[in-house]
Structure 1
Amino acid sequence: MELNLKKFNKQQLEEYYGFLDLIIERFGLQEGDKRLVFNVNDKNQIVFTIGQRYVWITGANEEDFKFEVISEKPISNKYSDFDGKPTAFWNGFSNISEVLKHQQTIFSAIEKELNRTQISGFLKYNKEELEKMAFDADFRKEALDQLKTITITDEPMKNADKTPVIPLNQILFGAPGTGKTYHTKKMAVEIINGKKAKTREEINKEYEELIKAGQIVFTTFHQSLSYEDFIEGIKPETIDGNVTYEVKEGIFKSICKNAFSKEITSDNFEVVYQKLLDEIDNSVDNKLVLETLVHAKEFTIYKNSKNNIRFHSNTEKAYEAVIKKEVLEHYLKTGEALDWAPYTKSVANYIIEKYNYIQNEAIEPKKHVLIIDEINRGNVSAIFGELITLLEEDKRKGNPEHTEVKLPYSGDNFSVPNNVYIIGTMNTADRSVEALDTALRRRFSFVEMQPDPKILSDEKYKKVDLSKLLETINQRIEMLIDKDHQIGHSYFIGIQNIDDLKRTFKDKIIPLLEEYFYGDFGKIGLVLGGEFIKLAENQVAFPKNFEYEKNFLEDKKIYHITSSESWEEETFKSIYGEVGNAK
């Protein structure tokens, strides 16, 4: 059967051959290898076969998956198992990013097929043109350049992936009070739990639950925050009166480490732990002698009255301690030793080898979101350090160009996983987007949050048109300064009566305007009008025996804010009522 490449999306073919390049490079495959077959089937799918098993497929039929791939264990919601040995599974995916997340299990299955195959039984079906496209980059480019990339329209498509593409790194920017903080909560919840219609209360509840689960981490950048706080650093710790210095994980390294670990859906810990206790009970003197993994030092374990593990080192200065059951279980599930690390690891290793401790992992690792409030207030270059490069999507772990760095304090190899999302916020009144670090701007998507006066039309308080009030104030601010210094709608949400409105103006709006205009009450008067700002009479007496600039006193004008006690509903209406050109 002849293959019509024009039926394919060019981007889809580029993604297919991009992953095929990874396979070829990973195993050093060469053109003419009799284990490999490149063909097209009757469904108009491009099929890469090793031995007797399909390995990597892409198709142009909208009814099929875009990509199908072999793996050592199930990695997709749509999978089936191959007949015979070795055990392998067939998985369908709608986008390449999901395939890239599972390279390890895919490559393990491919390696087994290569090791057990000398020549493929399908070799006579090999198509030289497709093989050449796999190994000859210039020939491939020439073929793909003849295709056109399909533009997605608004018309519904069968089996289309309707999930919007969510940037891994994004910053919400806008004037104060535009709802940036709340929107970060909403976006974080939707990234992890999916986009559904939820009330504000439901979003806040889910947000708190995800905070407790460690899937959402909130932090605020400030001038004192450093690389050592965010990534890792040496921190002092006092133990029994002695000061020690250890490398401690920072906020970002910690969330990345958690994101790499997969959820344990089930295990046989209770069974194997009971077997360990039974073995201790049935042993001579009710004890077992084990060795630490690194230094092979003997220590003895017992069972205490609470069914925890009591132990002591077999030395002259033997000391006793306890490994709690939950500490041992935590280490087996996460690899993190919370207490007595050398002994905890040794007991865990004994359980794994002797009693066959096993875990069932979730197919997909959980998504994690790091929210960085006021990201522009920190020194981003110093805080992220060399890791700023790793934030790029193609540099993330599991992607074709993934990159690792060696951390300076621990010496650990570090990379950023694909399931960590970063959402930052910044007030444009503090600093404009253009003034941000260039390296940060290149690696983040920016979403502008503008004041939305229309939201205020739903407020219960109707005696003053809050929507028109905010719109008028912002038009004047934009004329006098710029749009980055407008006032957000959040300041007016929840106002129920005139006292609430007076309090909002007195405690929030006017102090904000004073900051914007550096105390120039004349310009504040241009924004709010004469009912709020009054020209004061000059009653100051200066000495007559000293002369200064003659026009000074004539030009100098002093303005005062009127008392909030005198403000009435008509006072606020005057802001958007009689409007004329400034003179």
Structure 2
Amino acid sequence: MGDVRAHYLFTNDMRDSVLDSKAQEFACMFLNNTVPSANDNKSLNNSANTIGFYLNLINKGNVALVAANGDIRSVVLNFIKTFQYPNPRTKDSFIATVRDGIQLAPMREIIKILFLYNQIFPDKAYLTIDEIRHFVFFNEKIAFCKTLNRVEVINDIETYRASNELPSCIVPEDERDWNYESRQLSCFLGIMAWSGFIDIDKDGLVKLVIPRQDDLQYKAALLEVIMFNEYWEYGEIDINYISTEAFNALRTSYFNYCDQFILRNDKLNAIATSDIPSTPRQRIFFGAPGTGKSYSLNEEAKSLVSNKSNHIERVTFHPDYTYANFVGSYKPIMKQSDIACLDDDSKKVLSVLNNRTITTQEKYDALYESFKSTDGLTRLPIILGLYFDDSFETKKEDGTKASNNNSVERNHGRAIRKYVQLLSEESYKEKIAYEYVPGPFIRLLVKALQNPEAPYVLIVEEINRANVAAVFGDVFQLLDRNNDGESEYSITTTADMRAYLQRELGKDKDVTTIKIPSNLFIWATMNSADQGVYPMDTAFKRRWTFSYYGLDDEENNLSAAAIKPRFELGKSNKLISWNSLRKAINDELSTDTYNINEDKLMGPFFLKEEALKDNTSFNEAFKNKVLMYLFDDVVKQKRRSFFNCENSNRYSSICNAFDREGIKIFPDGVVNSKWLQEDESTISEDGEPRVTEV
């Protein structure tokens, strides 16, 4: 085995499925200095800094501004043409690549080779993934050479296809170091496919997308990549010792290099001088059950509002949910009794005044001491005069008879009786009253208007379980936001809503019409696989940013309890991991036999951590949740072929068979799945040992 001659490091986080939403979201976070610390949210901090490095958002320069404005295609184009090795992702990876003598801009190099291939051998103009590995990343004529002869490389590839022998310029396998090579290479290609430069066919052949004659925008982008030949120059450095300060300077230099080549669009100058666009205002997190939608939404919402719980309101839609629930309406409410807000002393006075078993004189005598102690003896005759017409004798503080029995005060009380509402026995009762009762939308709207500098998030769980057109009603008009994040159009308020808003916001506030302010976000989760969901019309969908959570996108965040084979099912002694079994079942359900849509498959968090604490908990949770879900929702029409047991149309029979046979109740495709074969220990990207299934 030779010495390692080629080191590469990339990431698993740059999935093309989340480029749009994540790039814009993280750009806004960097520009607004709202990236959470690792202590507050380790996962989000890691994702933001990883994507922020590769797309050059950390620098808060031109690229970040373009991304924040939503022009992600221009950001990715800049990434494809400028990303190179060496780069200062980490100090160790930078030093290793410099020592190797590598200088490679891999994505633009793949495009250039494919473009030239189309000119020379148009009928053979493709690259296999293995050819990209060998002839781009590990080719001395490409990765280690500053003067490139791509025609010679193409001829080498043709010779290799004919002979199946690699030329001597290719670095041997045992002299390569690239953890997660296959996965990260797929990530590179996924980004290029997302950008529209390449297409990967069903046989895995990578081909250049040939521009149409009238597609001037794509032609310009392709030409920009093909003609770009710059490299980041890091200058003279002592790679045996790079201080933290020196490494930070290298990163700044690299960021500035990448930033200077972004194609500025017409809006960039306006963006630079105006408020920074924020995270998408209306956003729907969707994917199969258990993919982590709700968790991710909650974590991002908490990060956005800096963990201020009173800045988030959560509501769950259901088939009976209405506009009145969501926005608000005039409703009957129980009002507390008139005396509920009084202090104890006042309540004692009222109890004496309303006591029908004693005379007015006895009431005076009963209240004399308490009013005497508060210098209120002159007020007591007024109060009794308010309530009663009969006479009573009054006393001074020393107990002697008062002059004229305080007749003046008593008469004052009787005179003003018609102008006041006396508290009586009826005042002790709660009453039904009608008031405008705001829903979660109006409640949070008021908070956002009262505090315009702070973000507020309204979270709607299961948004498609209600008829959204009916629930949102005229609020639908407010979902069109302008560049500042405020509603483009307003709606007219009803009289009862107007009265409520003025009571909360102040009489001087004009609330004849309302708009959603830029600091109010509405985020939702959706799972189209659920039974009893309502369809969304295109006009409604168009006003939302959709963040898709792929079936296995978040499995890297699973705990060891979910990954390690540690559960015995049935009478088998074979240890099985939850994640392996889940993937085996998903693969079988995806075959032509069942042809189940992805949104009905199971994500890694379909079972909660509590279900994985021990063997008993797992078996019970698997029966009560997984088997029930498969039985009721997924294979409802094909139970006999999916469940290998007698009476497979009875859930109880399936559970009993599972207790005896374990995974043998499933088809052979599950039992013999590659995911359930022998386990082996591997090393994760962060250097920690990890058990994975192969």
**Normalising to structure 2: TM-score of the pair?**
0.37
**Structure with max Cα Rg:** 2
User: Which one has the bigger strand percentage?
Assistant: 1
User: Which one has the bigger helix percentage?
Assistant: 2
